[in-house]
Amino acid sequence: MPVSFRLLPDLPPAGPDWDNLLALLATIFSTSEEQQAAELRYQQARGPVQVWLAETEERLVGCKVGYERKPGHYYSWLGGVATAFRGQGIAAELMREQHAWCQQHGYQRIRTQTYNQWRAMLLLNLRMGFDIVGTMQGAYGLVIVLEKELNSDETAEAQSYAIK
């Protein structure tokens, strides 16, 4: 099944995209759709939130959500792929799409955070050129803080030697 990718420059309004996004995030993070909606709306009230969607046969199978932390710095906040579609490169392509957009919009750095329990995401971030820049105690354990500097001549593939 071919996967298509698209960008929503802000959170979608009520409707199919919104409902599908909430359902996917709630499944990935084992939370309620209401909790996901509250977190997304809170962040949106602070500024635009961009959403990249991965779809197959009009079914949402993956997403990547982010926003500007401060001028020149982007925060890659939430993301994931439905269990049945993992291991197909969808998360990596969502990340490439997000990073290309960030470069086009003048961002120099991307930051993200993850818990150790999300090891596949941690490893993907490292493969895509992120560096671990710190840790902190989070609500569910140790949070790993990662950053990546965006260079126009740097590609994710060039960084793939880091972890295979």
Q: What single letter denotes the amino acid at residue 68?
A: E
The DSSP string of 35-52 is: HHHHHHHHHHHHS-EEEE
Over range 85-101, report the average pLDDT. Answer: 96
User: CA-to-CA distance for 94 and 5, rounded, in angstroms?
Assistant: 8
pLDDT tens digits, 6-60: 999 999 999 999 999 999 999 999 899 999 999 999 999 999 999 999 999 889 9
Q: Is residue 152 over pLDDT 80? A: no
pLDDT tens digits, residue range 101-143? 999 999 999 999 998 888 889 999 999 999 999 999 988 889 9
Instruction: Categorise residue 132: left if φ over 0, alpha if ψ from -120 to 50, beta otherwise.
Output: beta
From CA 152, how far away is CA 108, in angstroms rounded? Answer: 10
What is the CATH topology of the domain spanning 4-159?
Aminopeptidase (3.40.630)
User: Among 114, 102, 150, which Cα is nearest to 158's?
Assistant: 150
The structural domains of the chain, with segments of one domain joined by +, span: 4-159
The confidence band for 163, taking pLDDT boundaries of 50, 70 and 90, is: very low
Picking from 31, 6, 27, the residue whose alpha carbon sits closest to that of residue 17 is 6
What CA–CA distance (Å, rounded) separates 51 from 45? 15
Q: What is the pTM of this model?
A: 0.88
CA distance 164 to 161: 7
Q: What average pLDDT does the segment 58-63 reach?
A: 94
The predicted model gives 55-74 an average pLDDT of 95
Token pair recorded at residue 154: 């740097």
Q: Of how many residues is the chain composed?
A: 164
Within a 13 Å sphere around the CA of 14, how many CA atoms are in the beta-carbon half?
0
